[in-house]
Chain A
Amino acid sequence: MAEALMNHIDPEAIVLGVDTDSREAVIRLLAGKLKDAGYVKDSFADAVLAREATMPTGLPLGHAVNVAVPHTDPEHVVKPGIALATLKKPVTFANMEDPDEAVEVGLVFLMALNDKDRQIEMLQEIMATIQSEEAISGLMKASSLDDVAAVLK
Chain B
Amino acid sequence: MSKKTVLFACGTGIATSTVVANAVTEAMKERGITIDSRQCKATEVRSELNGVDLIVSTTQLPSDLGVPSIVTLAFLTGMGKAEALDKIEAELRK
Residues of A within 8 A of B (CB): 51, 55, 57, 59-62, 69, 71-74, 96-99, 111, 113, 116, 119-120, 123-124, 127, 130-131
Contacts and interface: CB of A to CB of B under 8 A. Distances in A.
Given A69-B16, A71-B15, A127-B77, 11 more contacts: A59-B73, A60-B73, A62-B77, A96-B58, A97-B58, A97-B60, A119-B15, A123-B15, A124-B22, A127-B76, A131-B77
Contacts, number: 63
A130 B59 contact: no
Given A62-B79, A130-B77, A131-B77, A119 B14 contact: yes
Nearest to A132: B78
A62 B77 CA distance: 9
Chain B contact residues: over half helix, strand or loop, or mixed? loop
A55 B11 contact: yes
B42 A116 contact: no
Interface of B: 11-12, 14-16, 18-19, 22, 42, 58-60, 71-73, 75-79
Chain A contact residues: over half helix, strand or loop, or mixed? loop
B12 A71 contact: yes
A98 B76 contact: no
A140 to B, nearest CB: 17
B19 A124 contact: yes
Given A59-B73, A59-B76, A131-B77, A113 B15 contact: yes
A96 B16 CA distance: 10
Contacts of A99: 60
